[in-house]
Amino acid sequence: MIIGGFQKFSLIDYPGKICAIVFTQGCNFRCPYCHNPELIDPNVSQNSQNITSEDDVFSFLEKRKGKLDAVEITGGEPTLQQGLLEFLKKIKDMGYLAKLDSNGSRPEVIEKIIRLKIVDYLAMDVKAPLEKYQEITCSNINPNKIKKSIELVMNSGLDYEFRTTVIKSQLSEEDIIKIGKLIKGANLYVLQKFIPSKTLNPKFLSEASYSDEEFKYLKAAVESYVVRCLVR
């Protein structure tokens, strides 16, 4: 895998667990609001200072056994990585819980990961209603792939969450309701506030999320479709 970043400690990224975070390099979407734009380009030199080797990650994890509970793999988009399955298997063999964050664009990889039982928690972005997917992600994604990934995640038997970063100019209340219908029956749906600190498209630095009051209405509008809805 090409690892573009490594965070040794987090209390907030794996629910109820202490985890380390591996950031993979490269993404097939170009969400203008992306807050990790340095991780989008897959063609980063292996010698770049930002790149961490798998050996470094595993030797750190070896030393932290008993102190860390879990490892989160995020991106970029991890399912684009050639060695992802082996990487996850190794994490599991070391006794850690594994969490995978994905944009859902590669259901064939998600299916394998579920079948091999090499992940404990799946977090999938649902970026928009299907008909707006290409516009919101600035990509040519086939929305049927997103639909397929949603079905796989919901039927996986694993802990999971779907989440949407909500930018006022991009997603209306009606759009959020459409997403609710798309993931109807899901255990957990998280509406994420957009915090404009760093973005792929600098114009999005001046974009706004909804207000706290408006988020209450969005949550109320969508929570009847899912088991639990949170604003984060």
Which chain residues interact with ligand SF4 by CB under 6 A?
27, 29-31, 34, 36, 39-40, 75-77, 103
Q: Give the integer Cα–Cα distance in Å for 93 and 36.
A: 29
Q: Least distance in Å: CB of 40 to ligand SF4?
A: 5
40 vs 88, beta carbon nearer ligand SF4: 40
Q: Give the integer Cα–Cα distance in Å for 129 and 133.
A: 6
139 vs 187, beta carbon nearer ligand SF4: 139
Judging by beta carbons within 10 Å of its beta carbon (0-12, 13-18, 19+), is residue 199 exposed, middle or buried?
buried
30 vs 63, beta carbon nearer ligand SF4: 30
38 vs 69, beta carbon nearer ligand SF4: 38
Q: Give the integer Cα–Cα distance in Å for 3 and 76.
A: 10
Q: Give the integer Cα–Cα distance in Å for 37 and 50.
A: 13
60 vs 143, beta carbon nearer ligand SF4: 143
Q: Least distance in Å: CB of 15 to ligand SF4?
A: 20
Q: Least distance in Å: CB of 58 to ligand SF4?
A: 24
Q: Is the peptide bond before 76 cis (omega within 30 degrees of 0)?
A: yes
Residue 3: strand, helix, or coil: strand
Q: Least distance in Å: CB of 28 to ligand SF4?
A: 7
Q: Least distance in Å: CB of 212 to ligand SF4?
A: 23
Q: At what angle do helices 84-93 and 107-116 cross, to 10 degrees?
A: 30
Of 49, 61, 56, 60, the closest CA to residue 1 belongs to 56
Task: Scan for tokens 């070391």, then name that residue.
Answer: 94
Judging by beta carbons within 10 Å of its beta carbon (0-12, 13-18, 19+), is residue 14 exposed, middle or buried?
buried
Q: Least distance in Å: CB of 29 to ligand SF4?
A: 4
169 vs 213, beta carbon nearer ligand SF4: 169
